[in-house]
Amino acid sequence: MISSGAEEQTKLETSKQEIFAATVAHYLAPIKKYLDNTRVAEVMVNKFDEIYVEMDGKMSKVPEVFPDRDAYAAAVNNILQFTGKSLYDEASLIDARLPDGSRVHVAKEPCSRFGMAMTIRKFSKSMLDIDWLVHIGSLTDQICEYLRIAVNAEANVLVAGGTSSGKTSLLNALSSYIPNTSRIVVIEDSSELQLQQDHVISMETKPPDRYGRGHVGIRELFRSSLRLRPDRIVIGEVRGGEALDMIQAMTSGHGGSMGTLHANNPYDALNRLETMALMSKVELPLYALRSQAASAIDVIVQMTRHMSGARVCSAIAEVLPIGEDGNYHLQDVFRMERMEDETGKHMQLKWTGVRSILAKRLKFEHEEMVTELTAPVFGLEGDGEEPHMEESPDDA
């Protein structure tokens, strides 16, 4: 029987992937056991004889080494070849992928001053789900219910945090609260999110070819996504001029959108968003930009990575309209507090006692989701305080 062109193509792709997997396993033999270990999240090669791994959230140096510089260079080149690149191209910073989807980043001289550095962020087949995040203490049941109601009530949510603080994992878990009736467009630099809904379009940026042509960035994808008629947009990480497009989309019919951003606290998140929006080179008075940003973002979830390797939600703040002073105003709805009980002293994320500003937009179906856990937060029991303006650090 003569197989169709499509079948031939699939066979070719499969055998290419198999060869790739086999050669990578050969060249990466010194670190293969860490790549195969599900407890390892990241493998970092600083030099051929200096390798670190992050296992169970903790970083440590491992005894394995590549035999010499050439063996290390051959291993890196092998990975790159299969993504159509070469170690000997001009680019000093190169992104690639392993056959299982793991992200590889290579920095070579002269950008990396003491030789070539490579990191492999392993692709996790099963992303952490909300129940697991509660189980390991990153979230509480009360916060999950609050977030579920916020997402259903079409609040726009930003997940903020430092490097590797669990932003993407939380975003993925949060996305499970989006109703299956929504048409969702996901935009990412390199695909990590795994949405479970039926109606999802996933977009990924495209790096330039070796001549610097054909680059498609997050901002271009974002603009295109608006023409794909999404109800909600999920953006893996906001890092540039797309911030302005996102702010404008969030305030014009794409409520319930979400994304992550690198920031150390919720105020910092708004300031970074503003700085990135200014990178878009669109002339907009600062007051107008701030007021749009404040009305676009409803909730900021702050993630923090502890020295122990644990990642926890350390605060949840709601964004109030900007004040007459032109500054952002936030109210902490949940905040870390020092607790002492029979298990000893520890920090716990607790409701601060303020009433959520989302209360006024809850419809009947959202109110039905409210249990005694969040009834006070949404003021449905009448014992929460009115939202109050907190001073921004700039005012202090």
| Binding residues for ligand ATP (CB under 6 A) | 41, 57, 124, 128, 133, 136, 138, 161, 163-169, 310-311
Q: Please state the closest distance from residue 41 (CB atom) to ligand ATP, in A.
A: 3
Contacts of 283 (CB under 8 A, 6+ apart): none
Segment interacting with Mg ion, rule: CB under 5 A, options 6-14, 160-168, 281-289, 385-393? 160-168
Q: Please state the closest distance from residue 259 (CB atom) to ligand ATP, in A.
A: 11
- Report the residue number, 108 or 167, with the smaller CB distance to ligand ATP: 167
Let me know: does 158 contact 300? Beta carbons within 8 Å.
Answer: yes
Q: Report what 225 binds from Mg ion, ligand ATP, none; CB cut-off 5-8 Å by kind.
A: none
Q: Report what 175 binds from ligand ATP, Mg ion, none; CB cut-off 5-8 Å by kind.
A: none
Let me know: does 265 contact 235? Beta carbons within 8 Å.
Answer: no
Q: Distance between CA 179 and CA 396 in Å, rounded?
A: 41
- Report the residue number, 156 or 168, with the smaller CB distance to ligand ATP: 168
Q: Please state the closest distance from residue 161 (CB atom) to ligand ATP, in A.
A: 5
Let me know: does 138 contact 312? Beta carbons within 8 Å.
Answer: yes
Q: Report what 57 binds from ligand ATP, Mg ion, none; CB cut-off 5-8 Å by kind.
A: ligand ATP
Q: Where are the beta strands (DSSP E) in the chain?
A: 40-47, 50-55, 58-62, 93-97, 103-107, 117-121, 157-161, 184-188, 200-204, 232-235, 258-262, 299-305, 311-320, 329-341, 344-351
Is position 168 an interface residue for Mg ion (rule: CB under 5 A)? yes
- Report the residue number, 167 or 254, with the smaller CB distance to Mg ion: 167
Q: Please state the closest distance from residue 239 (CB atom) to ligand ATP, in A.
A: 10
Q: Please state the closest distance from residue 124 (CB atom) to Mg ion, in A.
A: 12
Q: Distance between CA 67 and CA 372 in Å, rounded?
A: 61
Longest CA pairwise span in the chain (Å): 78
Q: Distance between CA 43 and CA 52 in Å, rounded?
A: 6
Under rule CB under 5 A, how many of the chain's residues touch Mg ion?
2
Is position 169 an interface residue for Mg ion (rule: CB under 5 A)? no
DSSP 350-396: EE-SBPPGGGGG--HHHHTT--TTTTTTTTSSS-SBPP-PPPPTTT-
Q: Please state the closest distance from residue 140 (CB atom) to ligand ATP, in A.
A: 13
- Report the residue number, 85 or 121, with the smaller CB distance to ligand ATP: 121
Let me know: does 378 contact 353? Beta carbons within 8 Å.
Answer: no
Is position 172 an interface residue for Mg ion (rule: CB under 5 A)? no
Q: Please state the closest distance from residue 272 (CB atom) to ligand ATP, in A.
A: 13
Q: Report what 163 binds from ligand ATP, Mg ion, none; CB cut-off 5-8 Å by kind.
A: ligand ATP
- The residues that touch Mg ion, with contacts defined as CB under 5 A, are 167-168
